[in-house]
Amino acid sequence: MKISRILPALCALAAAPVAAVEVDGRIDPQEWAGARHITDFVMVQPLSGEPARYRTEAWVLATPEGLAVAFRNHQPADVPRTTQRTRRDEGGQLDRVNLMVDFDGDGRTGYDFMVTIADGISDEVITSERNFNTDWDGHWHRAVTQEPDSWSVEMVIPWHVAPMAKPEGGKRTLGLYLDRVVGSTGERFGWPNISYQKPRFLSEFSKVEVPLYEQALLAVTPYAVAVHDRIRGETDFDAGADLFWKPNGQFQLSATINPDFGQVESDDLVVNFGAVETFFGDKRPFFTENQGMFDVPFGAGNSRLLYTRRIGGTADDGSGAGDVHAAVKLNGSLGQVRYGLLAATEGDEVGRDFFALRATRDFGAQDLGGMLTHVDRPFLDRTATVYSADHLWTPNAAWSIRSQLVASHVEQAGQSSDDSGLQVRADWEMGAGWRQQLWFLHIGDELQLNDIGYLDRNNFNYLRYELARRFPDQPEDSAYSFHEWRWAASTRRNDHGLNIAEAIATNRISERRDGGSEFLEVAMWTDGHDDLITRGNGAVRVPEKVFLFWERSRPQRGRWSWYVGARAAGEGLDGAGGMGLDLDFEPTLHLSDSLALQGVFSLQHNPDWLLWRGGDRLGSYRADIAAVGANLQWQIGTRQELRIKLETIALDARLRQAWVVGPGGEPQPVATPADITDFSLANLGFQIRYRYELAPLSDLYIVYGRGGLADDDQSRSLADLLGDTTSLRDAEQILIKLSYRFAN
């Protein structure tokens, strides 16, 4: 970033006292007198750095009530406006603005506040440079107005929305990033000239010095819920409360008694026969409030040290969900050290106790963090402790080197186990659109994180090199505005030296001038071993694998928007010769700006699906899977919302061959055992949810839900299975939930 742009960002926005900003969407020059006026927005999507196509202005002002930001977005009459209304955190390709703030300016945790032209909102926590999580919902203020040639947004973000370290000298240094998206074209105009498409994003926010303001907050949110089970004919009542206390910027306490378990949320239906458990996000308010401090990834995919779905997850005796009686969370700072502490207890006879402690310290080019977790599981006579130390080194603007060391210690029934893991990731921005990344990951055979974390596998060594280049300057007559090509090579071994596979892959990420996006990937794996499929009963030698994937999305044109994806893969014992095909199509009909109906259609054919059948036995199946669903979303005014969600899945699998794992891991064909047969299943999830917003973060929900699962030891047609889903009724309930937030 040029020095001429850094120096103004370091100046104070206003030294004199300021009046409150009335959040009405009308940018009054008197209210915004003394604010910093930003006009040098540039193209960051596509990532060309050229001046913004349409004039975009922003004002930034620190007030006693919070950080105030206004946008005026000039938009010619011939540029369509995407005015459909959305529920909170729904997102979509819409005309919108984003205010992203790092309140401590240290690049550790940021907050994204998004407002659409139709007054829809989303709020997200940003961690690990560019990881966005929408689970968190904050309390902040905004308003939108439209004019014939422009539209405007005003926002005020209270200072109590996040924990903040206390700076010296009566000034606070924020990290700021502002952008505006044109929904009809997908163009994004940002300030400063940075992008989440690069390895470094959060730490590159512009540093802006503002007067030091603090706000105290005490908020109590009691809730009550009544559930009528139509299967058992019984009605249950429950109640609890969340408490949030922030006496100053350096300390926040969150506590909960009998926490809300997100009864009004529904996880997507998943059919998972694999060895890796399905990862689900958490929507429980207590476990999303100020959770960014604990979001510490380790490993691939969703792997992390703290996975809050473990708290209140399936009880250790298998009797159902654990009963969380209480939990407490502290966030704050002591000098230059930021910390977070989380403790939760399940109060029943088989209940567990969970504990997590996190601390970080920024030393400029060096950033250190540590984390400790501990779980006591008396029913299993087990305790598990995990230690982690992480380090970020940014020697210059081009290099970022992240390293992390993790160790676990487990005691169970008088036996103990210890192991460790290590990862190092080095990113180099080479200039002219080129970048490189080298990633090494080691996970010991006995490293155990899943008592409170999520680790998709242990016993793993992974080395990956990636070279990438961005091509932002596409011809004006091209359907594309941007491409990024990536080329990667990797090798995988387990911790005992067993070869899993080598792989090469190339993919292309593209942005289209119609506002949509496109992704294409080709990957090939060498022959090797699958050491997970038999759940510890021997590694299986497998042939080469081939993966082809393509997806395309297009935002609303007229009344329609859509997504389509296609995947071809050969993953079974036939290798590349047994290619399966998966097709997905999700069209959305926009009946009005407030009413939309989405269809979900998926069809998968796998001629060589390899499944574990117990012990060292496997089965190869010819399988077909169909998923049909529909989502109706109706935004009724500004406070009401009606959502109807239907999901059905049908699966039919015909046995081709039974196998056992032979010497050297070679699969050996065997005569078909009596208990390895064809099978089929049907699955249903259906929910009608009405929400009325009583006040910010205070809601009344009325929810009807029904679901069921049926399986059979014989093959059946997908049409019959889908037809049967409408009669499934393993669970059916009506729920009424009321929560209200009382705050000073």
> What ranges make up the beta strands (E) of 162-205?
171-182, 187-191
Burial class, 666, CB count within 10 angstroms (exposed 0-12 / middle 13-18 / buried 19+): exposed
Closest CA to 633 of 585, 586, 598: 598
CA dist list (Å): 493 to 474, 496, 570? 40, 8, 21
Report the chain's terminal Cα–Cα distance, integer Å. 42
Q: Where are the alpha helices (DSSP H) in 502-561?
A: none
* Mean pLDDT score, 354-375: 93
pLDDT the model gives residue 263: 67
Closest CA to 300 of 197, 133, 454: 454
Q: How far apart are CA 133 and CA 708, in angstroms?
A: 30
Q: What is the pLDDT of residues 188-225, one digit of tens each?
A: 999 999 999 888 999 999 999 999 998 999 999 999 99
Q: What is the pLDDT of residues 139-165, one digit of tens each?
A: 999 999 999 999 999 999 999 988 888
pLDDT over 70, % of the chain: 97
User: What's the pTM value of the predicted model, to 2 decimals?
Assistant: 0.87
Quick one: tokens of 448? 């155990």
Mean pLDDT, the chain, as a whole number?
92
Evaluate whether 500 touches 493 at the Cβ level (below 8 Å): yes
pLDDT the model gives residue 15: 38
- Ramachandran angles phi, psi of 159, nearest 5°: -70, -20
Evaluate whether 69 touches 32 at the Cβ level (below 8 Å): no
Q: What is the pLDDT of residues 461-519, one digit of tens each?
A: 999 999 999 998 889 899 999 999 999 999 999 999 999 999 999 999 999 998 899 99
Indicate whether 17 pLDDT > 80: no
Place of tokens 């703030």: 101
DSSP 253-303: EEEEES----TT--PPP----SSSPPP-----HHHHTT-GGG--B-SSTT-
pLDDT over 90, % of the chain: 76
Q: How far apart are CA 476 and CA 506, in angstroms?
A: 26
Indicate whether 10 pLDDT > 60: no
Q: How far apart are CA 110 and CA 653, in angstroms?
A: 46
| C-beta neighbour count of 543 within 10 angstroms | 17
DSSP secondary structure code for residue 3 in this structure: H
Indicate whether 688 pLDDT > 80: yes
At 16, is the pLDDT very low, low, confident or very high (cuts 50, 70, 90)? very low
Q: How far apart are CA 697 and CA 123, in angstroms?
A: 13
Q: How far apart are CA 473 and CA 583, in angstroms?
A: 32
Q: What is the pLDDT of residues 693-710, one digit of tens each?
A: 999 989 999 999 999 999
pLDDT the model gives residue 170: 82
Quick one: tokens of 114? 């998004």
At 264, is the pLDDT very low, low, confident or very high (cuts 50, 70, 90)? confident
Indicate whether 76 pLDDT > 60: yes
* Mean pLDDT score, 687-693: 95
Q: Classify the C-alpha dihedral 169-175-180-183 as positive or negative.
A: negative
pLDDT the model gives residue 482: 92
CA dist list (Å): 307 to 109, 146, 417, 462? 18, 42, 22, 23
* Mean pLDDT score, 343-348: 91
Q: How far apart are CA 575 and CA 608, in angstroms?
A: 9
Residue type, 576: A
Q: What is the pLDDT of residues 278-327, one digit of tens each?
A: 998 888 888 887 788 898 999 988 999 999 999 998 999 988 888 899 99
Vertex 626, ends 622 and 629: CA angle to 5°? 165
- Residues 13/18/20/22 CA torsion (nearest 10 deg): -60
Q: What is the pLDDT of residues 583-634, one digit of tens each?
A: 999 999 999 999 999 999 999 999 999 999 999 999 999 999 999 999 999 9
SS3 of residue 203 by DSSP: helix
- Report the top-level CATH class of 3-213: mainly beta
Indicate whether 548 pLDDT > 80: yes
Give me the numbers of helices (H) and strands (E) for the chain, helices first please: 3, 41
Strands 545-557 and 540-542: unpaired
pLDDT the model gives residue 464: 98
Q: What is the pLDDT of residues 231-249, one digit of tens each?
A: 999 999 999 999 999 998 7
Closest CA to 206 of 191, 216, 217, 195: 191
Residue type, 734: I
Quick one: tokens of 258? 């009998």
Q: What is the pLDDT of residues 106-141, one digit of tens each?
A: 888 899 999 999 999 999 999 889 889 888 888 999
